[in-house]
Amino acid sequence: MVNQDPTNPSHALFDQFVQSQTCKEVQRTFSELCHHLQLDPRDYQSFYTKLKERLNYWKAKALWIKLDKRAQHQDYQQGKVCAKTKCLVLGAGPCGLRTAIELALLGAQVVVLEKRDSFSRNNVLHLWPYTIYDLRGLAAKKFYGKFCTGALDHISIRQLQLILLKVSLLLGVEVHTGVEFKGFVEPSEATGCMCFSSICMSFSPGFRWKELRGKLAIGITCNFINHHSAAEAQVAEISGVARIYNQKFFQDLLTEKGIDLENIVYYKDATHYFVMTAKKKSLLKMGVIKQDFSDANQLLGQANVDQDALLRYAHGAAHFSTGHRLPNMQFALNHAGQPDVAMFDFTCMHRAENASLVRERKGKKLLMGLVGDCLVEPFWPLGTGIARGFLAAFDTAWMVRSWGKGKPHLEVVAERESIYQLLSQTTPENINKNYSAFSIDPATRYQHVNLNSIKANQLQHLYDVEDHIDLGRPTKKQKGLSTFEELLKWCQQHTAGYDRVKVKDLTQSWRSGLALCALINTFRPHLIDMSSLKESDSVHNNQLAFSLLEGELGIPPIISASDMATKEQIDKLSMVLYLTQIHDAFNERTP
C-alpha cells in the first residue's frame, strides 16, 4: 500500500531535498535522506533502484517516471555497458554535471570534484529548444517549478547547477565540493590501479587550445534584484538586439546616456539579468576604463577599471533599454557580497584542438575528454555555452560507451574527434528537430554525421604512451616519470654540485628556493646568476624561480613565494605536480 503520511520523516526529507536552494542544503538533505533510508550513496550500481524501493512516496514516483524513461533508453543497455568504468568529472558546472548524469546512466562509477563550495552565479543562460526538452526529461520542473514556463527560454547558472546536482545525486554520482583538482599522480607498479577513464574539464595536461582572435569585444553582465512586483512583470525582455537591426535604439542610448553598445540582452529570471557588448571608446569617455591599452588584459585589469563608473554605465544601459520602466533597480549581490556587475574580454576565444586523448602508463589507460567551456569557449550574448556544452557532454558519454564496449582505443578517439568537427557549426536551426529522439548517439542529434571522417592512424599523437616513439611530433619525446622516486632522482641529478643545494625530498629541500633556481640554471644557465643568491633570502629566491618558470615555460606557481619560504607544511602533491611540469617542460624543449 502507498504510504502517504505527510509526517513520514523520509518524505519530509525528500521534499526538503527537492526544494533545496543552495548547494550545501542539497548535499545535507541528501545525506540525511540516505541515512534515514539506510542507503549507502557509494553503492552506485544499485543506489537508484534501492532508493526507489525504499522511498515509497507519491511525489517521488512522479520523478522516478521521468528518470526511468531516460534510464531505459537502449543506449545505456540497462546501465551495464560501462559497469566496470570509473569516471572522474572535474568541475560541477552545468556541463560537468550533465556529463556525470550520462555516465551514471551508462552504469559507470562517477566521482565529481568541484573546487567551490557554493553555487553563486546569478548570470542567466539562454537555452536552445533542445536543451529545454532535455532538462524537462530530467524532471527539471519538479525541482524548479518556474523552469521555462510559457515562452521562457533561460535559467540562471546556479539554478541549473542545483537541478543537475540533484539528478546526479539521485543517480548515484559521488559529488565532492570544496575539493580542487591539482593534477594526476601517475600509477606506479605499487598502486595497481585499474583501467580508469576520466572526463577532464579544466586542468587538462596534454590538450592544446587554438586562439580565435576577433575584433575587440568587451562584455558587461549585471544583475538587479527581482522584487517580483506587478510593475516588473510588465517589462518586456530583450532576447537580443544588435546594432545593425536597431540603429535608432543605439543612437538614442548614446545621445541620452553617452553609452555606446553593439548589442544587449535582458532576461527576467531570478534576477533582472543584462549582458551587453560595449564599445571601448565610450567606456573610456565615461571613465569606466581609465587608460587605453592595446593589451586586453591590461585594458580590463582591475587597476584600470573604475568600479563605480562601471556600475553607473551598466545601470544606465539597463534602465534605458527597458524603457525606464524597471522600478527600484538595485544591484543583486555576487558571491563576494558586491554589486553583481562584471566586465569580460571576449576578444580572444579558445577552442581545444582535440576533444579526447588516451594516456597509458605502466599498462594502465586513462581516457580523457573535454566538455563545456574548456572545449569551446562560448560567446555569452549568443547563448552557445549550454547548447554546445550539452552536445559535447552527450558526445563524451558516447565516447565512454564505446570505450566501455571494448572498441580499440584509438578508434574511440577517432570517432570522438570526427564528431567534434561538427560542434562549432551547430545552431538551433541545423541540429535535428526530433528532440524526443535525442540520445547520446550523435546520429540522433547532428545532421549528416560521419563517425569515420578522421581515421585512427591520423591520431597517433593522441595516444600518449610511455616509451612510445611518436614520429608525428616535432619535439623529442622523453620518457615520462612514473613514480615519486623517479622524480626525486631526476631533481637530484639536475641540482647536483650546486653550492648550498641538497635535494633530499620533494618538500622541505625546496624551501630556500635555491634548489629551484639551480634546476633552472642547469637547463637555462643564462637566466640566473647563482652566485648572487643568498640562502637566507628565500622569498626572493622563490619569487625569482616562480617568475622565470611562469614567464619562460608558462608554468604558474602553485603557492606564493612567502608561503613557500615560511609555511609549516609544503604540500607534497602540489610540489610533485609542479616539479613534474618543470621536468616535462625542460625535457620537451631541450634539444
| Cα–Cα dist 16/25, whole Å | 9
91 binds ligand FAD (CB under 6 A): yes
Residue 198 cell numbers, joined: 576520466
Of positions 156, 204, 221, 271, contacts ligand FAD by CB under 6 A = 221
Please choose, out of 13-21, 190-198, 373-381, 551-559, the segment that lies near ligand FAD by the rule CB under 6 A. 373-381
Bridge partners (DSSP) listed for residue 348: 213
Measured from the CB atom, the residue of 91 and 513 that comes closer to ligand FAD is: 91
Of positions 187, 372, 404, 442, contacts ligand FAD by CB under 6 A = 372
Q: Helix, strand, or coil here: 5?
A: coil
Cβ(491)–Cβ(579) below 8 Å: yes
Closest by CA to 305, choosing from 319, 292, 316, is 292
- For residue 450, the minimal CB distance to ligand FAD (Å) is 26
Measured from the CB atom, the residue of 260 and 373 that comes closer to ligand FAD is: 373
| Cα–Cα dist 393/370, whole Å | 9
Range list of H helices, 503-570: 514-523, 538-553, 561-566
94 binds ligand FAD (CB under 6 A): yes
Residue 418 corresponds to which amino acid? S
275 binds ligand FAD (CB under 6 A): yes
Of positions 186, 269, 373, 441, contacts ligand FAD by CB under 6 A = 373
Cβ(17)–Cβ(33) below 8 Å: yes
220 binds ligand FAD (CB under 6 A): no
202 binds ligand FAD (CB under 6 A): yes
Please choose, out of 108-116, 297-305, 431-439, 533-541, the segment that lies near ligand FAD by the rule CB under 6 A. 108-116
Beta-carbon contacts of residue 9 (< 8 Å; ≥ 6 apart): 36
Closest by CA to 399, choosing from 353, 451, 350, is 451
Measured from the CB atom, the residue of 104 and 514 that comes closer to ligand FAD is: 104
209 binds ligand FAD (CB under 6 A): no
| Cα–Cα dist 564/115, whole Å | 22
Please choose, out of 77-85, 119-127, 446-454, 526-534, the segment that lies near ligand FAD by the rule CB under 6 A. 119-127
Measured from the CB atom, the residue of 270 and 528 that comes closer to ligand FAD is: 270
Q: Which of residues 376-415 bind ligand FAD (CB under 6 A)?
A: 378, 380, 383, 385-386, 389
Measured from the CB atom, the residue of 112 and 299 that comes closer to ligand FAD is: 112
Cβ(72)–Cβ(64) below 8 Å: no
Measured from the CB atom, the residue of 202 and 522 that comes closer to ligand FAD is: 202
- For residue 476, the minimal CB distance to ligand FAD (Å) is 30
Residue 163 cell numbers, joined: 537541478
- For residue 203, the minimal CB distance to ligand FAD (Å) is 5
- For residue 160, the minimal CB distance to ligand FAD (Å) is 8
Of positions 116, 243, 364, 524, contacts ligand FAD by CB under 6 A = 116
157 binds ligand FAD (CB under 6 A): yes
| Cα–Cα dist 560/549, whole Å | 13
113 binds ligand FAD (CB under 6 A): yes
The answer to whether the Cα torsion of 472, 473, 474, 478 is positive or negative is negative
- For residue 294, the minimal CB distance to ligand FAD (Å) is 25
Of positions 106, 125, 199, 200, contacts ligand FAD by CB under 6 A = 125
339 binds ligand FAD (CB under 6 A): no
Of positions 82, 90, 155, 514, contacts ligand FAD by CB under 6 A = 90
DSSP, res 360? E
Cβ(179)–Cβ(114) below 8 Å: yes
Terminal C-alpha separation, the chain: 75
| Cα–Cα dist 381/292, whole Å | 24
Measured from the CB atom, the residue of 139 and 200 that comes closer to ligand FAD is: 200
- For residue 57, the minimal CB distance to ligand FAD (Å) is 31
Of positions 55, 89, 92, 286, contacts ligand FAD by CB under 6 A = 92
Of positions 114, 232, 395, 415, contacts ligand FAD by CB under 6 A = 114
Measured from the CB atom, the residue of 339 and 389 that comes closer to ligand FAD is: 389
Of positions 93, 187, 369, 404, contacts ligand FAD by CB under 6 A = 93
203 binds ligand FAD (CB under 6 A): yes
Residue 64 cell numbers, joined: 522516478
369 binds ligand FAD (CB under 6 A): no
- For residue 497, the minimal CB distance to ligand FAD (Å) is 37
| Cα–Cα dist 328/330, whole Å | 6
44 binds ligand FAD (CB under 6 A): no
H or E stretch covering 274: strand 271-278
The phi, psi pair for 268, rounded to 5°, reads -100, 110
- For residue 334, the minimal CB distance to ligand FAD (Å) is 9
Count Cα neighbours of 229 within 13 Å in the Cβ-side half-sphere: 9
Q: Which of residues 443-502 bind ligand FAD (CB under 6 A)?
A: none
Cβ(92)–Cβ(175) below 8 Å: yes
| Cα–Cα dist 388/131, whole Å | 10
Q: Which of residues 239-258 bind ligand FAD (CB under 6 A)?
A: none
Measured from the CB atom, the residue of 181 and 484 that comes closer to ligand FAD is: 181
| Cα–Cα dist 461/517, whole Å | 33
Closest by CA to 39, choosing from 68, 10, 60, 65, is 10
180 binds ligand FAD (CB under 6 A): yes
- For residue 92, the minimal CB distance to ligand FAD (Å) is 5
| Cα–Cα dist 175/473, whole Å | 38
Closest by CA to 258, choosing from 229, 237, 287, is 287
Measured from the CB atom, the residue of 96 and 187 that comes closer to ligand FAD is: 96
123 binds ligand FAD (CB under 6 A): yes
- For residue 488, the minimal CB distance to ligand FAD (Å) is 25
Bridge partners (DSSP) listed for residue 120: none
| Cα–Cα dist 13/487, whole Å | 50
Residue 200 cell numbers, joined: 577532464
Instruction: Give residues in contact with ligand FAD (CB under 6 A).
Output: 90-96, 113-116, 121, 123, 125-126, 157, 180-181, 201-203, 221, 275, 372-373, 378, 380, 383, 385-386, 389
